[in-house]
Amino acid sequence: MALSAYKDNSAIVTGASSGIGREMALQLADQGAWLTLTARNTQALEQVAAECRKRGARAIVVTADVSDEAQCKKIIEAAVAEYGRIDTLINNAGFGQGGYFESLPNLETFRQVMDVNFMGTVYCAHHALPHLKKACGRIVSISSIMGLVGVPMYSSYSASKFAMTGFAEVIRMELMGSGVSVTSIHPNFVVSEFAGRLLKPDGTPLGDKGKRIYTSRTMTSSVCARLTLQAAAKRKRHVVMTPSGKLVVFMHGLVPGLVDKVMRKMFGKK
Ligand SMILES: NC(=O)c1ccc[n+]([C@@H]2O[C@H](COP(=O)([O-])OP(=O)(O)OC[C@H]3O[C@@H](n4cnc5c(N)ncnc54)[C@H](OP(=O)(O)O)[C@@H]3O)[C@@H](O)[C@H]2O)c1
């Protein structure tokens, strides 16, 4: 399918300041989209926007924290004020915390993970929905393989991504016949700033140690962005991105107890 689905398409990308979101912004720019780029880091967003404009796209920057509903409303209003419509909402902003649930000293970061990954998606979808319906638009959510199969050490992250999956399942059904499609994306590991920003149980970043999960075979943000935009253009229901991810999901449906043991062995306390 040609990616011209995004020509003159008013697209909001949350978490556009780095990683997968930045790559989606650049690829959408190449296809002539009208971009609303949002995250908390204004300087990084301005650099992405400048690169998008160089590629011939229109781009505005809205600095916002998606865990705050009022700021999500502001993102939507800014997109409508600039372009008069919203065709695509990409809920991509997110982060994670590692560590056994019992090792968390308090639940502050747990709540933040839910607020950013899950509620950020809900707030943006809620405020964008009337506009998306007018445009027969697309809602795209960057969940994770951990939104389909739980992984030890990632209770808050898995919970937030399962919540995103459940939310997408329901609104997809509710929006049948409206013209609005809902696509859930379930990547495995992707090279980005994500692993370095993973928080430890005490809420401090893991830093470079986190990046040890990346190998030369890990999917790049650019490939993840391309597969995501292709799937959304085709209005696919969901995408499990890698063969290993597909295998884990299949096996989990077949022999969940065995998958629990394998996951525990791979990711759990040694
Ligand atoms: N990388 C992976 O292995 C992987 C695998 C599966 C799924 N994912 C998902 O992919 C999405 C993108 O992650 P990434 O890999 O590209 O990581 P990344 O490079 O760390 O990008 C995360 C983006 O989210 C933004 N963000 C974080 N907290 C925010 C908040 N409170 N409000 C607004 N924006 C916020 C960040 O920008 P600011 O800091 O400027 O706000 C940044 O632009 C996430 O939802 C992640 O869960 C990643």
Name the β-bridge partners of 138: 88, 181
Residue 76, pLDDT score: 98
Strand partners of residue 34: 10, 58
157 is catalytic: yes
Percent of the chain with pLDDT over 90: 93
pLDDT at position 270 is 61
- The percent of residues in the chain predicted with pLDDT above 70, rounded, is 99
Q: Which of 186, 179, 96, 190 is nearest to 141 (CA)?
A: 186
The rounded Å distance from CA 193 to ligand 1 centre is: 8
| pLDDT of res. 268 | 84
Ligand 1 lined by 245 (C-beta under 6 Å): no
pLDDT surpassing 50 at residue 262: yes
For residue 184, what pLDDT is reported? Answer: 98
- Tell how far the Cα of 92 is from the centroid of ligand 1, in angstroms: 6
Q: Please give the domain boundaries of the chain with CATH numbers for all domains.
A: 8-242 (3.40.50.720)
User: Contacts by 24-28 with C-beta closer than 8 Å and gap 24+?
Assistant: 24/90, 24/92, 24/225, 24/228, 24/229, 25/49, 25/52, 25/59, 26/51, 26/52, 26/55, 26/225, 27/222, 27/225, 27/226, 27/229, 28/52, 28/57, 28/229
Give the pLDDT score at 1.
44
* C-alpha pair distances (Å), 266 with each of 22, 119, 146, 259: 30, 30, 14, 10
pLDDT digits (tens, 9 = 90+) for 138-189: 999 999 999 999 999 999 999 999 999 999 999 999 999 999 999 999 999 9
Task: Compute the distance between CA of residue 204 and CA of residue 194 in angstroms, rounded to an integer.
Answer: 14
Atom of ligand 1 nearest to the CA of 218: 3
pLDDT in tens, 198-243: 999 999 998 888 788 888 899 999 999 999 999 999 999 999 999 9
